[in-house]
């Protein structure tokens, strides 16, 4: 039997249902909860208790992971309000954002080709600035404005930023490994 | 309540009887067992006072098995039947072990994992590891004077699911109750952190005999939270020996030395390597199988040159772990070195240069993992001292996913997710009327299935025929606190559902473990039955005691008929406990476990609700 999970992530951690989250309070609440439900607390108990503990700890980890990350938190909050961010289905973006995105993508490719980690780091800084701006907008949309459509659009945009940053990370990783002596192809582990 | 703890005459029983639990570091080259005694963890020595047990097993034609130093003494003369570094073969196939180069064993490609042809017959790496674990268990029971309640066995953080499963299987074959599989760097962090009352962000750089791990942890008020982990489960001190041996082969023209000579060269290489940590040069004499005497020398400078690529190889995962944790090297408050191989000066220099700080070496790098495991084992067994309230939150090292169309991997659980973790992904059919779906579970970071490790394949059958794309198949991954995965799949559209739970393909079934236990020579049937009964009784006793305590506290959570059923279950277990049939007792215990699950769930819910209410009260009071 599954535990009764009627509480949402905010309620489970004893936090107000809101986009604005006090990071320290979130950390504290998560640790308190895990301290109570973690399987390590029940390692010497019966099988039923161990299984229930695993389900609860799994649930606590999911809640913490979701609420800690601003995009995941926004998406989750929007879902609670009945809004689907439509990140897979809705790919329509304003033209200026699409232009910006193409420029960034090209800059990643150039930085990679030129083996220029400094340029990639600069680009990351630029994207971080954009991200901070969007986060402020998101906080306003989901806070006082209650503009959930704008919230959905911002979540979609932030997802794009995540992907570009992942590309930058990959490029930096490839450069670091190349410089580190071991060639990536020889340091990869083989498999069966 | 304890496991068969008998007080000797003249020895006073402890006022509060403790369950004996040990920590075991099952290493590539050495293994150790440690326990918490009079509130401090210590490694348990053998009769000669040695705490390290060489991870070497020798099989004789008559079936006799020797472990440790006795086996080590055979390695030079009987390399094919003297298995060392078996950890490298755990959960690995023939193609994997081929990468280790010339090894003096006859490998056989058994399903799922290689096996080794020995004079005593075919042995799986699980069985070889079980011999090492049995020796440690015997040592612990002898020095603690009673049977063990359970053990925490450590694994490299970077071990994948197959390697973890194989380790747990080995412990079961050795007759150990595995309280937890614990990641080695995390174990080291516990020993280190509790010893130094540390707070902050720490990197644990763990280079053992055959594996390398780098874990980044945050220590805050008794919580050990792993932020990220990375590594290489095939990089270790052994590779440095190999590099020296290879250097000598080239410089002395020994291209095709035999298995026996390989062993001797490696032993000489190891001795020279260890001496080079203190000296500027070292040498060794080796007699080859054809009688030739070799004088082999090496300077520290030469050693550092030929092994520089290995040091660099360790820095790749180090960078990756830091990036995954979102940290720059300078943001790390301390670097802890673990593993005998971190004694090498050039490695220490490279680590210090990378982090811009001198690493911490105040705990014995060879013992710290076993000590941390012992502390965790003691806590898991329920022997926490008052005020000793810490919590461990670990992660999975490698992403888990499924094969999708075109041989691509769809990640279901990303690496560095805190465990336990569950995630479901929905899939659909791509053909009209499709009634079955093949599910292939893989682990790794690459995009192509062929570049990841295959963990399990199974089929979900009984999908009701529908048009393509109409079925909704939820595949759920659950990773438990040991880092072990189970997968289930369910079709849930038209109320029809089917599900199947799989264990990864390297995992042994309970029957296989039982068969391996049976194949041991050390127990007659009657002994085994007696042991099984004793174990079942302990489990039954614990379960009944825990349930009675729970009923005393929370009986109001049960309806009268539920309470009656539970009391009935307890009575059946009590009755079976008086009998001598361990199977009957086992089934009574299983029935009671099933019966008590709703009660356990409601109790947990109440505990969480009370905590939430308490916190709200605190906040009100603060305001």
CATH of the domain at A155: 1.20.1280.20
Neighbours of B428 (CB within 10 A): 16
A183 domain-assigned: yes
User: Is the pLDDT confidence value at B374 over 90?
Assistant: yes
User: Is the pLDDT confidence value at B12 over 60?
Assistant: no
Which comes out higher in pLDDT, residue B260 or B316?
A: B316
Hey, what domains does chain B have and what are their CATH numbers?
Answer: 21-186+367-386 (3.30.420.40), 237-306 (3.90.640.10), 400-507 (2.60.34.10), 523-618 (1.20.1270.10)
Exactly one of B46, B131, B206, B232 is catalytic; name it. Answer: B206
- Residues A166, A111: one domain? yes
Partners of B153 on chain A (C-beta within 8 Å) are none
- Residues A30, A103: one domain? no
Q: What average pLDDT does this structure show over A105-122?
A: 90
Question: Which long-range contacts link B350-353 to residues 24+ away (Cβ below 8 Å)?
Answer: B350/B311, B350/B312, B350/B314, B350/B315, B351/B205
Tell whether B476 lies on the interface with A, counting CB pairs under 8 A.
Answer: no
Q: What is the ipTM of this complex?
A: 0.83
Helix axes B368-380 and B184-196, enclosed angle (nearest 10): 80
Compare CB distances from B608 to A27, A33, A182 and report the shortest one's residue: A33
User: Is the pLDDT confidence value at B98 over 70?
Assistant: yes
In tens, the pLDDT along B157-183 reads 999 999 999 999 999 999 899 999 999
Partners of A64 on chain B (C-beta within 8 Å) are 418
Contact in structure between B359 and B335 (CB atoms under 8 Å): yes
Q: What average pLDDT does this structure show over B366-379?
A: 95
Residue B407 per-residue DSSP state: G
Region of residue B608 (left: phi > 0; alpha: psi -120 to 50; beta: else): alpha
User: Is the pLDDT confidence value at A49 over 80?
Assistant: yes
Exactly one of B25, B147, B160, B366 is catalytic; name it. Answer: B25
Compare CB distances from A54 to B313, B382, B481 and report the shortest one's residue: B481
Interface list for B 542-561 with A (CB within 8 A) = 542-543, 546-547
Closest chain A C-alpha to B47 CA, distance in angstroms: 31
A77 domain-assigned: no
Sheet architecture: strand order including B391-393:
B334-338, B200-207, B212-220, B223-232, B391-393
Neighbours of B600 (CB within 10 A): 25
Best to test chain B binding among A15, A29, A40 (most B CBs inside 10 Å): A40
Q: What pLDDT is stored for residue B524 in this prediction?
A: 59
Strands B82-84, B106-109: pairing kind: unpaired
- Choose from A152-156, A184-188, B253-257 the range with maximum mean pLDDT: A152-156
Residue B40 per-residue DSSP state: E
Contact in structure between B555 and B563 (CB atoms under 8 Å): yes
Cβ pair B542:A180 closer than 8 A = no
Coil, helix or strand for A30? helix
Tell whether B19 lies on the interface with A, counting CB pairs under 8 A.
Answer: yes
Q: What pLDDT is stored for residue B526 in this prediction?
A: 67
Cβ pair A190:B96 closer than 8 A = yes
- Number of folded domains that form chain A: 2
Compare CB distances from A36 to B315, B452, B608 and report the shortest one's residue: B608
Question: How confident is the prediction for chain A on average, in pLDDT?
Answer: 84
* Whole-number percent of chain B with pLDDT over 70: 90
B273 assigned to active site? no
Cβ pair A33:B611 closer than 8 A = yes
User: Is the pLDDT confidence value at B623 over 60?
Assistant: no
Residue A181 per-residue DSSP state: S
Tell whether B316 lies on the interface with A, counting CB pairs under 8 A.
Answer: yes
Exactly one of B46, B87, B134, B273 is catalytic; name it. Answer: B87
B522 assigned to active site? no
Q: What pLDDT is stored for residue B328 in this prediction?
A: 93
Cβ pair A4:B453 closer than 8 A = no
Best to test chain A binding among B401, B612, B617 (most A CBs inside 10 Å): B612
Q: What pLDDT is stored for residue B501 in this prediction?
A: 64
Partners of B418 on chain A (C-beta within 8 Å) are 61, 64-65
Q: What pLDDT is stored for residue A189 in this prediction?
A: 33
Strands B114-118, B121-123: pairing kind: antiparallel
Cβ pair A43:B453 closer than 8 A = no
Contact in structure between B33 and B139 (CB atoms under 8 Å): yes
- Residues A53, A103: one domain? no
* Dist. CA B606–CA B465, nearest whole Å: 43
Q: What pLDDT is stored for residue B363 in this prediction?
A: 85
User: Is the pLDDT confidence value at A182 over 70?
Assistant: no
- Residues A161, A108: one domain? yes
User: Is the pLDDT confidence value at B205 over 50?
Assistant: yes
Closest chain A C-alpha to B321 CA, distance in angstroms: 11
User: Is the pLDDT confidence value at B493 over 90?
Assistant: no
- Residues A176, A104: one domain? yes
User: Is the pLDDT confidence value at B394 over 90?
Assistant: yes
Residues forming beta bridges with residue B34, ordered by sequence position: B23, B43
Interface list for B 184-243 with A (CB within 8 A) = 220, 223, 232-234
Q: What pLDDT is stored for residue A129 in this prediction?
A: 93
Nearest chain B residue (CA) to A44? B381
User: Which CATH number characterizes residue A39's domain?
Assistant: 1.10.287.110
Phi and psi for A153 in degrees, rounded to 5?
-65, -40
A103 domain-assigned: yes
Least confident of A72-76, B83-87, B489-493: B489-493
Residues forming beta bridges with residue B200, ordered by sequence position: B219
Partners of B395 on chain A (C-beta within 8 Å) are none
Confidence band of B617 (pLDDT split at 50, 70, 90): low
Question: Which long-range contacts link B5-10 to residues 24+ away (Cβ below 8 Å)?
Answer: B5/B146, B6/B146, B8/B145
* Whole-number percent of chain A with pLDDT over 90: 48
Confidence band of B503 (pLDDT split at 50, 70, 90): low
Q: Which structure tokens are listed for B483?
A: 């880092």
Cβ pair B180:A1 closer than 8 A = no
Least confident of B34-43, B205-214, B219-228, B521-530: B521-530
Q: What pLDDT is stored for residue B241 in this prediction?
A: 93
Compare CB distances from A61 to B150, B220, B421 and report the shortest one's residue: B421
User: Is the pLDDT confidence value at B290 over 90?
Assistant: no
Cβ pair A191:B450 closer than 8 A = yes
Confidence band of B72 (pLDDT split at 50, 70, 90): very high
Nearest chain A residue (CA) to B595? A48
pTM here is 0.86
Closest chain A C-alpha to B225 CA, distance in angstroms: 10
User: Is the pLDDT confidence value at B14 over 60?
Assistant: no
Q: What pLDDT is stored for residue B406 in this prediction?
A: 85
Contact in structure between B50 and B70 (CB atoms under 8 Å): no
Strands B178-183, B150-155: pairing kind: parallel
A192 domain-assigned: no
Best to test chain B binding among A52, A69, A188 (most B CBs inside 10 Å): A52
Tell whether B324 lies on the interface with A, counting CB pairs under 8 A.
Answer: no
A177 domain-assigned: yes
B411 assigned to active site? no
In tens, the pLDDT along B42-51 reads 999 999 999 9
Compare CB distances from A37 to B418, B543, B608 and report the shortest one's residue: B608
Contact in structure between B547 and A46 (CB atoms under 8 Å): yes
Question: How confident is the prediction for chain B on average, in pLDDT?
Answer: 87
A83 domain-assigned: no
Partners of A24 on chain B (C-beta within 8 Å) are none
User: Is the pLDDT confidence value at B355 over 60?
Assistant: yes
Which comes out higher in pLDDT, residue B273 or B469?
A: B273
Least confident of A15-29, B205-219, B376-390, B461-475: B376-390
A33 domain-assigned: yes
A128 domain-assigned: yes
Closest chain B C-alpha to A184 CA, distance in angstroms: 10
Parent domain of A53: 9-68
* Dist. CA B407–CA A75, nearest whole Å: 30
Kindly provide the b/e burial profile for residues B211-223, where b requires at least 16 CB atoms within 10 angstroms of the residue's own CB.
bbbbbbbbbeebb
User: Is the pLDDT confidence value at B522 over 70?
Assistant: no
Partners of A171 on chain B (C-beta within 8 Å) are none
Contact in structure between A187 and A179 (CB atoms under 8 Å): no
Partners of A53 on chain B (C-beta within 8 Å) are 604
User: What is the rounded (10 degree) CA torsion for B214, A30, B413, B398?
Assistant: 10
Q: What pLDDT is stored for residue A132 in this prediction?
A: 92
Burial label for B328, CB within 10 Å (0-12, 13-18, 19+), is exposed
Confidence band of B499 (pLDDT split at 50, 70, 90): low
In tens, the pLDDT along B241-258 reads 999 999 998 888 877 667
Cα–Cα–Cα angle for B552, B556, B558, rounded to 5 degrees: 105
Q: What pLDDT is stored for residue A185 in this prediction?
A: 32
Cβ pair B420:A39 closer than 8 A = yes
Partners of B450 on chain A (C-beta within 8 Å) are 191
Partners of A31 on chain B (C-beta within 8 Å) are 220, 223, 391
Kindly provide the b/e burial profile for residues B20-53, where b requires at least 16 CB atoms within 10 angstroms of the residue's own CB.
bbbbbbbbbbbbbbbbbeeeebebbebeeeebbb
- Residues A122, A174: one domain? yes
* Dist. CA A50–CA A62, nearest whole Å: 18
Contact in structure between B20 and B6 (CB atoms under 8 Å): no
Residue B445 per-residue DSSP state: S
Which comes out higher in pLDDT, residue B500 or B472?
A: B472
- The residue from A52, A68, A84 where one domain ends is A68
Confidence band of B521 (pLDDT split at 50, 70, 90): very low
- Residues A174, A133: one domain? yes
- Residues A123, A56: one domain? no
User: Is the pLDDT confidence value at B2 over 70?
Assistant: no
Cβ pair A54:B380 closer than 8 A = no
Helix (H) or strand (E) holding B576: helix B560-578
Q: What pLDDT is stored for residue B620 in this prediction?
A: 45
User: Is the pLDDT confidence value at B534 over 90?
Assistant: no
B232 assigned to active site? no
Exactly one of B46, B66, B131, B184 is catalytic; name it. Answer: B184
Q: What pLDDT is stored for residue B3 in this prediction?
A: 37
Coil, helix or strand for B78? coil
């Amino acid at each position: 039997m599954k535990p009764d999970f009627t509480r949402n992530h905010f309620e489970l951690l004893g936090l107000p249902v809101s986009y604005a989250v006090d990071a320290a309070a979130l950390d504290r609440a998560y640790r308190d909860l895990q301290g109570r439900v973690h399987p390590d607390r029940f390692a010497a108990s019966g099988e039923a208790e161990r299984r229930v503990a695993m389900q609860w700890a799994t649930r606590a980890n999911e809640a913490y992971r979701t609420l800690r990350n601003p995009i995941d938190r926004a998406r989750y909050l929007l879902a609670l309000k009945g809004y689907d961010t439509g990140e897979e289905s809705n790919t329509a973006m304003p033209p200026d954002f699409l232009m910006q995105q193409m420029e960034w993508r090209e800059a990643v490719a150039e930085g990679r080709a030129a083996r220029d980690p400094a340029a990639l780091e600069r680009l990351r800084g630029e994207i971080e600035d954009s991200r901070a701006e969007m986060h402020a907008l998101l906080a306003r949309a989901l806070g006082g404005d209650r503009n959930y459509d704008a919230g959905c659009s911002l979540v979609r945009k932030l997802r794009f930023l995540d992907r570009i940053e992942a590309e930058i990370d990959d490029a930096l990783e490839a450069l670091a490994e190349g410089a580190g002596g071991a060639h990536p192809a020889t340091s990869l582990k083989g498999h069966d | 309540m304890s496991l068969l703890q008998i007080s000797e005459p003249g020895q006073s029983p402890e006022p509060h009887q403790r369950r004996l639990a040990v920590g075991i570091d099952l290493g590539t080259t050495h293994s150790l067992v440690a326990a918490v005694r009079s509130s401090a963890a210590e490694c348990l020595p053998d009769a000669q006072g040695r705490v390290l047990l060489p991870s070497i097993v020798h099989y004789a034609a008559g079936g006799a098995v020797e472990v440790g130093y006795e086996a080590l003494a055979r390695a030079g003369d009987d390399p094919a039947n003297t298995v060392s570094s078996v950890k490298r073969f755990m959960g690995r196939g023939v193609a994997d072990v081929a990468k280790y180069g010339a090894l003096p064993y006859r490998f056989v490609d058994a399903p799922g994992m290689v096996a080794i042809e020995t004079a005593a017959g075919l042995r799986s790496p699980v069985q070889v590891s079980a011999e090492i674990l049995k020796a440690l268990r015997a040592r612990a029971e002898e020095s603690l004077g009673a049977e063990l309640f359970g053990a925490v066995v450590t694994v490299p953080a970077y071990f994948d699911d197959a390697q973890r499963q194989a380790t747990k299987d080995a412990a079961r074959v050795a007759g150990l109750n595995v309280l937890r599989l614990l990641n080695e760097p995390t174990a080291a962090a516990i020993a280190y952190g509790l010893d130094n009352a540390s707070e902050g962000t720490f990197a644990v750089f763990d280079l053992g005999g055959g594996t390398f791990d780098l874990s980044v942890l945050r220590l805050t008020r008794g919580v050990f939270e792993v932020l990220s982990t990375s590594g290489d489960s095939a990089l270790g001190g052994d590779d440095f020996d190999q590099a020296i041996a290879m250097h000598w082969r080239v410089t002395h023209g020994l291209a095709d030395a035999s298995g026996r000579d390989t062993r001797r060269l490696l032993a000489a290489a190891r001795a020279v390597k260890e001496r080079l940590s203190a000296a500027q040069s070292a040498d060794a004499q080796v007699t080859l199988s054809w009688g030739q005497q070799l004088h082999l020398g090496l300077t520290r400078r030469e050693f550092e040159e030929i092994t520089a690529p290995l040091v660099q190889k360790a820095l790749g995962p180090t960078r990756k772990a830091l990036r995954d944790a979102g940290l720059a090297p300078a943001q790390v408050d301390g670097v802890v070195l673990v593993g005998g191989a971190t004694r090498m000066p050039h490695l220490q220099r490279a680590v210090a240069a990378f982090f811009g700080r001198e690493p911490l070496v105040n705990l014995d790098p060879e013992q710290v993992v076993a000590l941390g495991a012992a502390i965790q084992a003691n806590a898991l067994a329920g022997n926490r001292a008052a005020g000793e309230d810490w919590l461990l939150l670990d992660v999975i090292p490698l992403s888990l996913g499924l094969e999708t169309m075109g041989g691509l991997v769809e990640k279901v659980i990303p690496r560095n997710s805190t465990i336990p973790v569950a995630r479901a992904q929905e899939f659909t059919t791509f053909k009209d009327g499709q009634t079955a779906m093949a599910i292939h579970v893989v682990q790794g970071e690459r995009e192509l299935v062929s570049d990841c490790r295959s963990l399990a394949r199974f089929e979900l059958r009984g999908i009701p025929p529908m048009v393509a794309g109409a079925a909704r198949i939820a595949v759920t991954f659950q990773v438990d606190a040991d880092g072990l995965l189970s997968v289930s799949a369910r079709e849930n559209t038209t109320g029809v559902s089917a599900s199947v739970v799989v264990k990864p393909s390297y995992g042994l079934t309970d029957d296989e473990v039982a068969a391996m236990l049976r194949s041991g020579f050390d127990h007659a049937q009657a002994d085994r039955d007696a042991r099984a009964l004793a174990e079942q009784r302990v489990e039954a006793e614990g379960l009944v005691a825990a349930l009675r305590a729970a009923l005393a506290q929370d009986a109001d959570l049960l309806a009268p008929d539920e309470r009656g059923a539970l009391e009935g279950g307890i009575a059946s277990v009590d009755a079976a406990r008086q009998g001598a049939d361990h199977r009957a007792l086992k089934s009574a215990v299983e029935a009671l476990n099933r019966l008590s699950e709703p009660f356990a769930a409601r109790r947990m819910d109440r505990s969480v609700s009370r905590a939430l209410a308490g916190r709200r009260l605190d906040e009100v009071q603060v305001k």
